[in-house]
Structure 1
Amino acid sequence: MGFTFGSGFPLPLSLGQAVGVGLLFFIALTYLVSKSRRNRLPPGPRAWPVIGSLPLLGTMPHSSLYQLSKKYGPLMYLKLGTTDTVVASSPKVVEAFLKTNDLNFSNRPGNAGATYIAYDSNDLVWAPYGNRWRMLRKVCNIHLFAGKALEDMQPVRQLELSLLVKSLLAHGQRGESANLGELMNVCTANVLGQVMFSKRVFESQGAKASEFREMVIELMVLAGVFNIGDFVPSLAWLDLQGVQAKMKKLHDRFDNFFSKIIAEHQAESANKSKKDFLSALLALRNNADGEGGRLTDTDMKALLLDLFTAGTDTSSSTVEWAMSELIRHPHIMEKCQRELESVVGRQRKLKEADLEKLSYLQAVVKETFRLHPSTPLLLPRMAAEACTIEGYHIPKNARLMVNAWGIQRDPAVWTRPLEFDPERFVGSDVDVRGTDFEVIPFGAGRRICAGMTMGIRMVQLMLATLIHSFDWSLPAGQTPEKLDMAEAFGLTLQKAQPLLALPAPRLPLALYD
């Protein structure tokens, strides 16, 4: 036994030397294999130069990514521009990211929306994970989302729903169809307005309300665009799609809106004491719970922007989707109305306390969240450090996209996934609050939607009120079977065509006063 040296003559090796060389060779081979496995990226499509796989996303990225996952698997790697991106498309993979490795994925990547709309990430949604983010979340939880805060808001919700019902009754008496999405938006905006700064934002459905909703929808559309500058930072300055310019203009409109609200609130507060969310923020302006730093006017406007856009659009669009499905499925609408009659009857108004007894209506809401999640691709996260998920290497700073829409329509996860069937949730322990990863419309982990509990309650309450108070029909010439259910993609999922429906009262007219 020997090895060759110099001129090629073999030099003898002792048995001990041979064993040593063999051991070194084995260790080196093991290291190389191990390193290869550690750096093995998840499968995915081959990227093109500079733009990567961006062209594969199309106009409906959630749908395109779902189709790609069928080919490449539930954990997929894409080079979007020059950015490492991983897509999770199964409950098991999502749990690995948002539960097992949640802390590592608690930050969000920078993007044009956070910079140009959300006050350079000074808000709750895009703020870096840390003391400041915890402070902002704590302020919102205490003054808006905690159990006591939600209970204290009951009279406000009841008042706004009464006004909504009156408006719908007037539509019905005039024989006019109602734009349900817009009316729901007015209702939720006024609830938030009264809670946040003791003021109704809109007196009625009209030009001002329409303009505000258009602003919110435009924000969601722009924030949902796969902006080339976000994925190829060296090209950001060119603003090739014109997205950044539109964001700056929209930001100015929102900034003026909230600046006016804050100025009016401060002027009114000088004459009388107010107990609302903005008053609490102003009180904290010089001492925001210590650790997170002080609140500035910019911080306050950023929080108001988050709460108004997310709190109005997601709730109103979910109710619009739910009503569309109920009109398409009259037998499900009938079952909801029978349940309401058994719990509430037709001789009194619905109360918020009735909701916990409406198990079938709760199932309808869950099924709507499943089939029509308000945020089809959950807000992105970013890997703080490289890690291993399902045996694959996830690079540091990789973006994580969770395709909630794809998971919630996957036949491997759900039986008859494209059918609207609330029965699947009747008697089921599966919930939408971030612990069951087969249905996660609000996300999961540390960055789960802060307003989830408030949002669920508003959706249940508005939907129950609409079903209890009115019978519904479509405008002349339209049939439930052919109701347009096309999606319009943005950060949130809107109906491409708004739902117009004609209400007819079901209760004694005295109850509508």
Structure 2
Amino acid sequence: MAGLEAYFLFFLTSLISTLLLFVFLKSTCAKSLHIMPTPFALPIIGHLHLLLLSPIPHQAFHKLSTRYGPIFSLFLGSKPGIVVSSPEMAKEFLKTHEHVSLDRAANSIVDYITYGSKDLVFAPYGRYWKFMKKIVMSNLLNGKTLDMLSSVRYEEINGFINLISKKAKIGKAMDLEKELMKLTNNVISRMLMGERCIDDNEESADDMMSLVADMVQASGTFNLPDYIWLFKGIDLQGLGKQVKKLRARFDVMIERIIKEHEEARKHGGEMKDLLHILLHIEQDESMEINLSRENIKAFFLDLFLAATDTTAGTMEWCLSQLINHPKIMNKALEEINQVVGKKRLLQESDIPNLPYLQAIVKETFRLHPALPVLARQSTEDFMVAGYYIPAKTLIFINLWALGRDPNHWENPNEFCPERFQEKDNEFDVRGQHFQMLPFGSGRRLCPGISLAQIMIHTTLGAMIQCFDWKAGKDGNLPSVDMEEGFGLTLTRANHLVCVPVARIDPIPI
């Protein structure tokens, strides 16, 4: 009897889902000249099976686009969505119709982690978002502040190079994902709150690294109850329980730091960092927006996750490609030796004079964008290329596919920095060229673009200048694998483990 009831429930939900899909398509046809291409959908789950069967969403989207074209529709359970895979279509959503595509597509997992989307990355476009971005740009990520804090980056990069030098002297392998994460995390934390978030204690470093990695992975997971109404309120995959533990761990860390700043303020201490500024705004009743404790926590979580994971990941992809392309590595070394020499460490001021190093970073951005899929949600009905897009449609812009579009890139899967040294390929990375959008585009362009560029070029340049890199724990692998991992950001499936070999001894610091 129980089996019969379950069968009836399944039949009923399938019938309702089919009728809803029919009504939606009929409504779409009435308002549109064209019916958007779409893969075959299953009852209840729609097209979720196409993503769940592939652990990496941007690759699944790309594979579907080769069959259904640069724009196609899908249903994630009961939620309508579209996938955009060409620069021309991306421009339609991010420029021509940007005003209705400014909201990020969030989910219950991201919403919980960010204290109810009270952050900057996932907050809806509006008054609060504009206020928080203004604070960031005027107090932390503007040119004047970045110049003022150059000594912080210099000290941390020097310490990183010293660490590598010690490993090189004893021929010991390094887990570069872990060490690059520590580097970027400490730079960001010193800029935000005046202290290193990760010390030299291996246990605390591992704990912080695992926290960041777990949060990024959870944020990028398709949580079925968000898309299938039948499962609403059921923690089917255990993600709800997992993120509660993750956010609790973050709370412990950030509460300690906030309380230390509050105590310092009580005793007249002047702590010149962003947290000090935010605490001042929190207590200033004349401000246009009243910040809460959760607003501050969510904002800091953004910077920890977005700024550290993406920057470290890009540097790891850069070095992976250089190890697999020794001729490109040698060409970059020759340029650095000519411009910087061997008597001092490469500095931020050298970057404008290193065009080939810049080309290497751009080529890495093209093949390995830190955020492979830009997820937005429409705020009202509109038309694109003859297709009717209703409000609250999920919009997935496949940035990974844009950088590999054969209509815009010759030999798109080949790592070739020289393509950016050609006069007709003078691409910037600030969202003006839709063939490559590593930092997004338009009003929601990543505010940390300048800091990320500085960190990536300076750190990578110093690593090339000072060391040769041998792949593997014993340094005897001919190359490193380029398999992609799973998560909100584009990470390597396997950590990059290498043995550094000093080119310059001692390291001139």
TM-score where L is the length of structure 2: 0.90
Q: Does 1:53 align with 2:47?
A: yes
Q: Does 1:383 align with 2:378?
A: yes
Deviations 1:359-417 (A, max 9, x none): 00000001111111111112x11111111111111111101001111121222221111
Q: Does 1:407 align with 2:411?
A: no
Deviations 1:87-132 (A, max 9, x none): 1100000000000011101112341133210101000011111111
Q: Does 1:499 align with 2:496?
A: yes
1:273 to 250, 255, 270: 270
The question of whether the paired residues in 1 share the 8 Å contact of 2:45 and 2:77 is answered with yes
2:185 to 175, 183, 189: 189
Q: Paired residue for 1:422?
A: 417
Q: Does 1:44 align with 2:38?
A: yes
Q: Paired residue for 1:440?
A: 437
Report the AA paired with residue 382 of structure 2.
C
Q: Does 1:107 align with 2:103?
A: yes
Q: Does 1:509 align with 2:506?
A: yes
2:159 to 146, 152, 163: 163
The alpha-carbon distance between structure 1 residues 288 and 75, as it changes in their structure 2 partners (threshold 3 A), is farther
Using the TM superposition, name which of 233-242 and 251-260 deviates more: 233-242
Cα separation, 1, equivalents of 2:194 and 2:465: 29
Report the AA paired with residue 49 of structure 2.
P
The question of whether the paired residues in 2 share the 8 Å contact of 1:346 and 1:508 is answered with no
Q: SS state of the match for residue 396, structure 2?
A: strand
Q: Does 1:282 align with 2:279?
A: yes
Q: Does 1:349 align with 2:345?
A: yes
Q: Paired residue for 1:25?
A: none
Cα separation, 2, equivalents of 1:110 and 1:220: 14
Deviations 1:132-168 (A, max 9, x none): 1100111111111111111111000000011101111
Cα separation, 2, equivalents of 1:456 and 1:435: 16
Report the AA paired with residue 56 of structure 1.
L
1:74 to 70, 74, 87: 70
Q: How well do the aligned residues superpose, as a CA RMSD in angstroms?
A: 1.9
Q: Give percent identity, aligned residues only.
A: 37
Q: Paired residue for 2:194?
A: 198
Report the AA paired with residue 47 of structure 2.
S
* Structure 1 unaligned spans of 5+: 1-31
Q: Paired residue for 2:332?
A: 336
The alpha-carbon distance between structure 1 residues 54 and 275, as it changes in their structure 2 partners (threshold 3 A), is same
Q: SS state of the match for residue 140, structure 2?
A: helix
The question of whether the paired residues in 2 share the 8 Å contact of 1:318 and 1:372 is answered with yes
Using the TM superposition, name which of 452-461 and 332-341 deviates more: 452-461
Q: SS state of the match for residue 201, structure 1?
A: coil
Report the AA paired with residue 45 of structure 2.
I
Q: Paired residue for 1:134?
A: 130
The question of whether the paired residues in 1 share the 8 Å contact of 2:473 and 2:498 is answered with no
Cα separation, 2, equivalents of 1:129 and 1:287: 24
Report the AA paired with residue 417 of structure 1.
P
The alpha-carbon distance between structure 1 residues 288 and 311, as it changes in their structure 2 partners (threshold 3 A), is farther
1:461 shift after superposition? 1.2
Q: SS state of the match for residue 36, structure 2?
A: coil
Report the AA paired with residue 87 of structure 2.
P
Deviations 1:222-242 (A, max 9, x none): 111111122224523112111
1:455 to 428, 438, 452: 452
Cα separation, 2, equivalents of 1:510 and 1:360: 23
Cα separation, 2, equivalents of 1:371 and 1:155: 31
Q: Does 1:215 align with 2:211?
A: yes
Cα separation, 2, equivalents of 1:76 and 1:480: 42
The alpha-carbon distance between structure 1 residues 469 and 288, as it changes in their structure 2 partners (threshold 3 A), is farther
The question of whether the paired residues in 2 share the 8 Å contact of 1:41 and 1:77 is answered with no
Q: Paired residue for 2:21?
A: none
* Structure 2 unaligned spans of 5+: 1-25
TM-score where L is the length of structure 1: 0.90
Q: Paired residue for 1:263?
A: 259
Report the AA paired with residue 235 of structure 1.
F
Deviations 1:253-302 (A, max 9, x none): 111111111112222344421111101111111348833x2111111111
User: Structure 2 matches for 1:297-316, cutoff 5 A?
Assistant: 297-316=293-312
Q: SS state of the match for residue 136, structure 2?
A: helix
1:244 shift after superposition? 1.6
